[in-house]
Amino acid sequence: MAIVAACAVPHPPLIIPAVGGGRERGIQSTIDAYGEVARRIADAEPDTLVISSPHSIMYRDYLHISPGTGARGSFAQYRAPQASYQVDYDQQFVLSLEAACLAEQLPAGTRGERSPELDHATMIPLHFILPACERAGLHPRVVRMGLSGLSPAFHYRVGMLVQRVASVLGRRVAFVASGDLSHKLLAEGPYGFAPEGPEFDERVCQAFGQGDFLPLLAMDQGFADRAAECGLRSFQIMAGALDRTQVQPSLLSHEGPFGVGYGVAYFQPVGDEGSCEERALLERYEQWHEQEMARRRAAEDELVSLARLSLESYVRSGGIPVRVDDLPDGRALSDQLTQRRAGCFVSLKVDGQLRGCIGTIAPTKASLAEEICANAVSAGRRDRRFPPVEVDELDDLVYDVDVLCQPEPIEGKGQLDPRRYGVIVSTDDGRRGLLLPDLDGVDSVDEQVRIAAQKGGIDLIGDSYRLERFEVERHV
Structural domains of the chain sorted by starting position, each given as residue range(s) with its CATH number in brackets: 3-289 (3.40.830.10), 292-475 (3.30.700.20)
Length of the chain: 476
Sign of the CA dihedral with 241 first, then 243, 249, and 255 last? positive
- Under 8 Å between Cβ of 401 and 345: yes
Q: What are phi and psi of 46, to 5 degrees?
A: -75, 150
pLDDT tier at 194, thresholds 50, 70, 90: very high
Question: How many Cα atoms occupy the beta-carbon half-sphere of 212 within 13 Å?
Answer: 10
Kindly state the average pLDDT of the residues 277-293: 94
Burial (CB count within 10 angstroms: exposed 0-12, middle 13-18, buried 19+), residue 275:
exposed
Query: DSSP label at 382?
Result: T
CA–CA separation, 150 vs 134, rounded Å? 36
pLDDT tier at 431, thresholds 50, 70, 90: very high
What does pLDDT average to over the chain?
96
- Under 8 Å between Cβ of 197 and 183: yes
325-380 per-position pLDDT tens digit: 999 888 999 999 999 999 999 999 998 889 999 999 999 999 999 999 999 999 99
Strand partners, 85: 73
pLDDT of residue 440: 84
- Model pTM score: 0.92
Cβ neighbours of residue 62 closer than 8 Å, sequence gap 6 or more: 107, 108, 109, 111, 112, 148
pLDDT of residue 276: 87
108-117 per-position pLDDT tens digit: 999 999 999 9
Angle in degrees, CA 199, 200, 205, rounded to 5? 100
CA–CA separation, 56 vs 11, rounded Å? 12
Measure CA 350 to chain center.
11
- Under 8 Å between Cβ of 354 and 398: no
DSSP 309-372: HHHHHHHHTTSPPPBTTB-TT-----HHHHT----EEEEEEETTEEEEEEE-SS--SSSHHHHH
pLDDT tier at 441, thresholds 50, 70, 90: confident
